[in-house]
């Protein structure tokens, strides 16, 4: 069969999501953010919420998310995305509201806002990209940085005596009454991406059905911050991140 016969519109099985704009993303090659952006775009379109979705982008690498996904966006001050999302959802209950935050934004600077929004059971979804580092500012230590991991601000490796222990904020959130769905996923393989898509869809549906807050943590790579190739970063994540940040659902009360 000739290749031209195959490349016909009716045979198309996968293409860039329509909601993802043509503008090139500023993320480094191989960054996990791109995959999550694609998933969000796909799910919003599948739910038919193109005109009714409001995302709240944080300060961090995803600060320009509003350029890439063609939905409504609101930019929040550093870490304050859940507080802004709370207001949007309360004023506009028919909107699908989610925040998109990194580990520096959610687990460090915005810990108070995040914990309290989740504890209040606001009907929002929090997408938490955990790459164990402050990516945008040049790879400084984050609360989620693993023990012994070298970053720009802990060049000899994270030491418990000096820097404390890595923060498992997702486990914390699972203990809060207000959360209905807390899960930890990743996007390094096709299988993992499919699972993450299901998790995100479930979280978005929960928020529309008024079941409470959902937190979807996505264990990600920051290959330039970790100073590795994208492939190597994926491998490093599997070997070092997954034993500490174990994948799977931590809490799911939606079926009860």
Token representation of residue 243? 């034993």
Based on CB atoms, which residue is closest to another protein, 33 or 89? 33
Based on CB atoms, which residue is closest to another protein, 229 or 246? 229
> C-alpha dihedral over 55, 33, 218, 35, to 10 degrees?
100
For the chain, the farthest-separated pair of C-alpha atoms sits apart, in whole angstroms, at 65
CA neighbours closer than 13 Å in the CB half-sphere of residue 26: 10
- Least Å distance between CB 230 and another protein? 5
Based on CB atoms, which residue is closest to another protein, 7 or 91? 7
- Least Å distance between CB 30 and another protein? 3
Based on CB atoms, which residue is closest to another protein, 34 or 121? 34
- Least Å distance between CB 110 and another protein? 25
Contact residues: another protein, CB under 8 A: 1, 3, 5-8, 11-17, 20, 24-25, 27-35, 38, 189-190, 193-194, 229-231, 234
At a CB cut-off of 8 Å and minimum separation 6, what does 221 contact? Answer: 30, 31, 32, 131, 188, 230, 233, 234, 236, 237
On whether the CB atoms of residues 155 and 163 are closer than 8 A, the answer is: no
Based on CB atoms, which residue is closest to another protein, 17 or 55? 17
- Least Å distance between CB 118 and another protein? 28
Q: How does DSSP classify residue 149?
A: -
- Spatial separation of the C-alpha atoms in residues 8 and 151, rounded to whole Å: 48
- Least Å distance between CB 209 and another protein? 28
């Amino acid at each position: 069969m000739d290749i031209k016969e195959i490349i016909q519109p009716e045979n198309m099985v996968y293409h860039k999501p329509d909601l993802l704009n043509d503008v090139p993303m500023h993320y480094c090659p191989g960054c996990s953010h791109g995959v999550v952006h694609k998933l969000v775009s796909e799910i919003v379109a599948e739910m038919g919420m193109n005109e009714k979705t409001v995302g709240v982008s944080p300060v961090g690498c995803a600060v320009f998310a509003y350029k890439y996904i063609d939905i409504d966006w609101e930019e929040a001050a550093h870490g304050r995305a859940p507080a802004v999302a709370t207001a949007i959802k309360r004023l506009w209950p028919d909107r699908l509201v989610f925040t998109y935050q990194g580990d520096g934004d959610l687990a460090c600077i915005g810990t108070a806002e995040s914990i309290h929004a989740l504890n209040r059971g606001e009907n929002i979804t929090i997408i938490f990209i955990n790459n164990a580092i402050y990516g945008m500012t040049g790879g400084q230590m984050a609360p989620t940085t693993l023990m012994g991991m070298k970053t720009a601000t802990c060049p000899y490796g994270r030491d418990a005596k000096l820097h404390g222990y890595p923060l498992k904020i997702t486990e914390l959130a699972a203990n809060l009454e207000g959360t209905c769905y807390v899960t930890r996923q990743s996007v390094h393989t096709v299988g993992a991406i499919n699972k993450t898509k299901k998790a995100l869809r479930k979280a978005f549906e929960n928020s529309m059905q008024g079941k409470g807050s959902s937190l979807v943590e996505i264990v990600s790579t920051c290959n330039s911050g970790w100073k590795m190739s994208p492939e190597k970063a994926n491998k490093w994540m599997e070997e070092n991140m997954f034993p500490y940040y174990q994948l799977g659902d931590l809490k799911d009360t939606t079926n009860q």
